[in-house]
Amino acid sequence: MQNFSARFEELRQSYMSQLVEKAAQMADAWRQVETGEVSVDICEELQQAAHNLAGTGSTFGFPEVSSTAHELEVALRQILGGARSEGVIADAGRLVRGLQQLVAGFSASGAAAVSAPEAPVAPRTQWVYFLSEAVDEAEALATQLAHFGYESYLFTDPDALAD
């Protein structure tokens, strides 16, 4: 069985090759927007692609891809929301081209300069203190918060909370 690092590097290389293709597709789609009327369908597809890249880039060791894609996603949301000023459209175009250049640079260098993300640091325990007479409601809320890593303490007496 492969160790984690080797398997992760395979996945990262696969992601990088898909990234090159995705950035080229996004640039082609944006050229259609620039040469004609702003198409809602194309902008929605671009926004979804940018959203996906924003969420996955850092996971595979490409934080610059995530941040650029996030900025593009925000610009496209503005366009889809009706903000079609030359400035917003120019920003989106700049970001699409920047993303493509960024990815081309990774591809040309083999992404050797980009390291795999470090293992996540174990999260600190976060505490939540409840002061409530409604014990059942507080316990239900504490149960929900536990799913997000919070440790809860319930107090029904303000004096006990002060201790």
**Which range of residues forms the domain containing residue 69?**
4-109
Query: Could you write out the DSSP letters of every residue in the chain?
Result: ---HHHHHHHHHHHHHHHHHHHHHHHHHHHHHHHHSSPPHHHHHHHHHHHHHHHHHTGGGT-HHHHHHHHHHHHHHHHHHTT---HHHHHHHHHHHHHHHHHHHHHHHHTTTTSPPPPPPPPPPPEEEEEE-S-HHHHHHHHHHHHTTTEEEEEESSHHHHH-
Task: Note whether 101 and 134 are same-domain residues.
Answer: no
Task: Note whether 9 and 36 are same-domain residues.
Answer: yes
User: Residue 82: which CATH number?
Assistant: 1.20.120.230
Task: Note whether 89 and 147 are same-domain residues.
Answer: no
pLDDT tens-digit series, residues 1-32: 568 888 888 888 889 889 999 999 999 999 99
Q: How many domains does the chain have?
A: 2
Task: Note whether 12 and 52 are same-domain residues.
Answer: yes
Which residues of the chain, if any, have pLDDT below 70? 1-2, 109-124, 161, 163
Task: Note whether 63 and 134 are same-domain residues.
Answer: no
